[in-house]
Amino acid sequence: MSNTDFEDITEQLHTIADYCRYGASLFNQAELFYGHGSDNALSEAFTLVMFALSLSEDMSDEVMNCRLLKQEKQNILALFQQRVDTQQPVAYITNLAYFARLPFYVDERVLVPRSPIGELIENHFAPYFSEQKSPQRILDLCTGSGCIAIACASYFPEAEVDAVDLSIDALDVAQLNIENHGLSEQVIPIQSDVFSGVVGQKYDLIVTNPPYVDQEDIDSLPAEFTHEPEMGLGCGEDGLDIVRVILAESALHLNDDGILICEVGNSQYHVEALYPEVDFTWLSFERGGHGVFTLNKAQLEKHAELFIAAVIN
């Protein structure tokens, strides 16, 4: 949009509701993709409008009819134009994403948090843990922004949480989020290639959202995903290069009653094809999501030879 277009629009649209509707229409016309915390144009437009106005997204409905100043209108339109022109996810424009009902700083050094594991954390990983039996040591593998580790620490305030990632850039973002949430004494960021940085350590819970997108899906991703770090998405032809290592080595890092929870998304098909003998428990979610399995230590040990062979081969 040119400055002239901005002037024409600001003369015709006046309220917050006007700009939310206009943004949704603009995004739909541009055929943007919604897959980073939102699934529709109106939600994304609303988020950008409220961000531009420094207002909370849980404002009352009456606020929607408030009229805007000219500069506020122009600020909103500039954000709309940025979303359309760059096809950046909204979370990178606002540097804010929510996970497990908690706010996180994000930028293009980390994936935008969107894992269904957030729902598990909110439910305190029931039925695998309870008030009488809560995890005391938790490992978040491939932590990225630190969202899973920080959410675990917030919902299990007595737990010690290690947050590991290979990427120093990602760990810098995780450290910022750890500090923002006041959890520097509880969540420890560690550079680690899978388990290399936690040798000899054992946990009650290993939870991980590793890279798992197969090459076919990588080649067909919408433009929005190209802004995310590729090492956080793709992981070999079938997407399971890191998952193989996790399955082969997790038992060594779990206490006797410990469990592994791992997200593999659309690569669930590849997991089931690669390990047909394994009794994975695939979890379901009220808010949507799929491809998350759990195995306990005994199950991991039962199939240890199979898991190790898959890594070697």
* pLDDT tens per residue across span 146-201: 999 999 999 999 999 999 999 999 999 999 999 999 999 999 999 999 999 999 99
Angstrom distances, CA of residue 69 to CA of 17, 41, 74, 78, 195: 14, 24, 9, 14, 53
Nearest 10 degrees: Cα torsion 214, 218, 221, 224: 110
Tokens 């957030």 sit on residue: 118
Residue 179, domain extent: 108-312
- At 4 the pLDDT is 60
Q: Is residue 102 in some structural domain?
A: no
Q: Is residue 99 in some structural domain?
A: no
- Where the chain has pLDDT below 70, the residues are 1-4
Q: Mark whether 117 and 87 lie in a shared domain.
A: no
Angstrom distances, CA of residue 307 to CA of 129, 153, 242: 26, 30, 12
Instruction: Tell me the whole-structure pTM to 2 decimals.
Output: 0.93
- At 25 the pLDDT is 97
CA gap 177, 256 in Å, rounded: 31
Strand runs labelled E in 112-222: 137-141, 160-165, 187-191, 203-208
Structural domain count, the chain:
2
Q: Is residue 157 in some structural domain?
A: yes
- At 147 the pLDDT is 98
Chosen domain end from 94, 128, 145: 94
Q: Mark whether 47 and 114 lie in a shared domain.
A: no
Chosen domain end from 44, 64, 94: 94
Q: Mark whether 295 and 224 lie in a shared domain.
A: yes
- At 1 the pLDDT is 60
